[in-house]
Amino acid sequence: MARETGRGTGKDRLSESGLPIEPVYGPESLRDWDPETKLGEPGSYPYTRGVYPTMYTGRPWTMRQYAGFGTAVESNARYKQLIANGTMGLSVAFDLPTQMGHDSDAPIAHGEVGKVGVAIDSIDDMRVLFDGIPLGEVSTSMTINAPAAVLLLLYQLVAEEQGVPSRKLTGTIQNDVLKEYIARGTYIFPPKPSLRLIADIFKYCRAEIPRWNTISISGYHMAEAGATPAQEIAFTLADGIEYVRTAVAAGMDVDDFAPRLSFFFVARTTILEEVAKFRAARRIWARVMKEEFGAKNPKSMMLRFHTQTAGVQLTAQQPEVNLVRVAVQGLGAVLGGTQSLHTNSYDEAIALPTDKSARLALRTQQVLAYETDVTATVDPFAGSYVVESMTDEVEAAALELMGKVEELGGAVNAIEHGYQKGEIERSAYAIAQETDSGERVVVGVNRFQLDEEEPYEPLRVDPAIEAQQAERLARLRAERDQQAVDGALAELRKAAEGSDNVLYPMKEALRARATVGEVCNTLREVWGAYVPTDAF
């Protein structure tokens, strides 16, 4: 029997999660289905229908565009263009050296400076990145994990220089290091000190930046690595449980930090299963927070999430077809009840997005919000035979996977066993086989190809950026008070060796113009660096 996953035709079709999709759904599909326990009302437990009573009937989701490349000057110009075009929130992409806690002049950074995001080495760069952007008025998301505390503190310092009180700052740091061990690889420290650092961030933000979302627990990168929808939410929610346990073990009350937790998922072109996935994830998280952790605050039970359209589904062949894919993916995210959305640019499979393609990606969201009727009612698919059945099925599949993680002792132990990584790799291999054989149709790649592709001129990063950043770092080190930097880094080391919150001395080191690399190296010297083991 052919396994037709997610595309094609045939009566034996399976969903992306490997679950059967019936040709017809009817009342018998929901025979034992209880709308009171499965659905509830919008904005009420178990939040299947959305975390807010009015959802988009009051206002649309936050429209973010993930951007950052080259120098802080270039990225700042792109942010101002996006704001002028109607973006509601900024989303910062950092280059690989920054993500790994290395300065641009470190030997390991050679060839990667400014390539996949903006290079940020110190407070000097962060000032330039947000020059002329009122940080008290915009919401900023930063895709940064292992050194998330460092970038957050730099942002806070720049806001203070603008005269913006920290209590007014809104935004999110991704700060999800567990998924780095599973699917992405931009980790720095071993799991135990990484979790300690995350707990310190939770405590610091509760006291100093109370409106900030302290973590965005991410399934997106797992999905990009090949995870199915069921795997995506199962492993993401299992990571979320690990973070909650860490914070509770550190002495925090669950209702003191859980309202600031957020999540980050992908939106694929398979609309029905994606809608079901989002609804199932909300329901599972609400029950976990209420039943396992005893949360009392309704906000602690709400799974609020950002969505990005699936970059892995974009093709370099016939790239303009990606405009259609992104529109379909974005529609699925909206129908699933996302709180914010980034729509990918159609040329991202080739190179960094151009100004025009970034604007078109934003316009896609604006068409969904203002030219369709999907914002006129809450949870348009509620009661749908197919969507409610698929929601139950994805929920059951995810709970089974979460149970296996628990059997291994939780997310960290499962990571050390290689469980999540192994499951995702098997799924990725199956997708590759199906694409190669033609069972999985990818328009323009294995069907409906062109004999010759049209020429395309991509946006490229100037390789001179690396030398420019090195020059800035040399100037910074010559100008700053080195004694003040050394003293601040010594205080950071002392906190890391003990049990004090490391963010307070870290902030003073950054204020003294310590670099990102110097701060991360100080912690590396105390906590060590993570070296993965191959469990297979």
**Average of per-residue pLDDT values in the chain:** 94
Q: What is the mean pLDDT of residues 272-279?
A: 98
What band does 32 get if pLDDT is binned at 50, 70 and 90? confident
Q: What is the mean pLDDT of residues 58-82?
A: 92
DSSP string covering 434-474: HHHHTSS--BTTTBS--SSPPP---B---TTHHHHHHHHHH
The residue with tokens 């995870």 is 227
Lookup: tokens for 118: 């903006």
For residues 180 and 187, the answer to whether their CB atoms sit within 8 Å is yes
pLDDT value for 455: 83
The residue with tokens 């940020």 is 120
pLDDT value for 1: 28
pLDDT tens column, 331-348: 999 999 999 999 999 999
pLDDT tens column, 234-262: 999 999 999 999 999 999 999 999 999 99
For residues 306 and 29, the answer to whether their CB atoms sit within 8 Å is no
- 3-class SS at 262? strand
pLDDT tens column, 119-143: 999 999 999 999 999 999 999 999 9
Specify the pairing of strand 89-93 against strand 139-143: parallel
pLDDT for residue 3 is more than 50? no
What band does 461 get if pLDDT is binned at 50, 70 and 90? confident
Region for 337 from its dihedrals, namely left if φ exceeds 0, alpha if ψ lies in -120 to 50, beta otherwise: left
DSSP string covering 473-502: HHHHHHHS-HHHHHHHHHHHHHHHHSSS-T
- 3-class SS at 404? helix
For residues 254 and 300, the answer to whether their CB atoms sit within 8 Å is yes
DSSP 205: H
pLDDT value for 8: 45
DSSP 125: H
pLDDT tens column, 186-204: 999 999 999 999 999 999 9
What band does 535 get if pLDDT is binned at 50, 70 and 90? very low
Residue type for position 517: G
The residue with tokens 């780095």 is 180
pLDDT value for 11: 58
DSSP string covering 296-349: -SHHHH---EEEEE-GGG--SSSGGGHHHHHHHHHHHHHHTT-SEEEPPPTTTT
Supply angle C-alpha 290, 198, 234, rounded to 5. 50
pLDDT value for 532: 83
pLDDT for residue 369 is more than 50? yes
pLDDT for residue 475 is more than 90? yes
pLDDT tens column, 91-124: 999 999 999 999 999 999 999 999 999 999 999 9
What band does 5 get if pLDDT is binned at 50, 70 and 90? very low
Query: Whole-angstrom Cα distance, residue 416 to residue 433?
Result: 28
Taken in order of first residue, the domains within the chain and their CATH numbers are: 4-67+174-437 (3.20.20.240), 474-527 (no CATH)
| pTM tops 0.75 | yes
